[in-house]
Amino acid sequence: MTYKPARELGLDLPGITGRHNALTDVPGLMAGYTTLNFGEGPLVTGQGPVRTGVTAILPRGRDAVPQPVWAGTHSFNGNGEMTGTHWIQDGGYFLGPIMITNTHSVGRAHQAAVQWMIDTYPEHWGSEHLWAMPVVAETYDGTLNDINGLHVTEAHAREALDQATDGPLSEGNVGGGTGMICYEFKGGTGTSSRRITLHDREYHVGVLVQANHGRRKDLTILGVPVGRYLTNNMLLSEHEMGSIIAVIATDAPMMPHQLQRLAKRGAIGIARGGTTGGNGSGDIFLALSTANPMPIDRMAQINSDFSWIGDDLCDSVYQAAVEAIEEAVINALLAADDMTTLRPAGQRCAAIDPDALMEVMGRHSRLTTSRQ
């Protein structure tokens, strides 16, 4: 389905985006997908239907030598998984890819990421005592996907890594977001970016979300309680059962404690959409900076060339991340296509109707001047 992302549709969103309005606007970063979307009819465990996939992110692309990225994490509600976070909390960095998939495929994605690191840097892993601890995160797609069939393989995860590019990114029913539900609409993968200026230097903040969270009645877009108006095809549930993973990347030089604070702002970004972070929702955020590249073998030495922005300057990065996360979730909704539920069987999981959304937003003066 051809779709218009939020800005092209005419929503009056704040901030200046990067070239692609995507995570890949952060220089050097790459991302790719493997999408598994096949089969029809009733659920037969192990046979399908299959609506899932893998999203892969290479924070430093395909560098010739392994170089960590500085990072911080935050768990707003921990009913989910993101591997590698213990060392990020203690060490302030991680090395290797980021993978996002469904809840029951974390192990295979992790195995693929480890193998990719060994294959990509054979000299380092062959001659040194390096251990691989990639970041792998998940959300649950068992309402739309045969999750217990374990259809994601190591080869699928490796394909996502091999497909990674620094160009525009698809959204909606792609990668790990293929079978996700957001505010009782069809959800999935969304992305956005911002360009900011700090002391006459331009930096980028890019975001990618796997949006599988929220109840319809709570959905808010640009302050408008959209969920109160768009009430068709609701997947009624008393409790919030989904999750959201958000990756926030920047080329602004930031220290690990600043990146941890940046990751916390992810919770504000999703709160703008109305979610309250229910008990069943795993809302986990990873923030990273590609600045200050340093080969892994220098990590054990005395280094004096680390640069960073002052804490007061972080406010602009915080604002950019909050805005981009809000927009990325909206883009995930707008890009998605309808699906049919497997458990319970036969319900329509509808994508948001852009025309109906525009009508509501127009009534509340939330469109750009040309669309009012």
Catalytic positions, written as ranges? 243, 281, 283
Per-residue DSSP letter, 201: E
Sign of the dihedral through C-alpha 317, 15, 61, 34: positive
In single-letter form, the type of residue at position 156 comes to: H
Q: How far, in Å, are 54, 106, 247 from residue 137 at the CA level?
A: 10, 7, 10
CB 53 within 8 A of CB 36: yes
Sign of the dihedral through C-alpha 224, 225, 231, 232: positive
Q: How far, in Å, are 4, 34, 187, 365 from residue 7 at the CA level?
A: 8, 26, 18, 15
Residue among 264, 319, 263 nearest 289 (CA):
263
Sign of the dihedral through C-alpha 302, 307, 308, 309: positive
Residue 234 burial class via C-beta count within 10 angstroms: exposed 0-12, middle 13-18, buried 19 and up: middle
Residue among 81, 135, 139, 61 nearest 332 (CA):
139
Per DSSP, helices labelled H in the chain are 6-9, 85-91, 106-120, 122-127, 154-162, 256-271, 314-335, 354-363
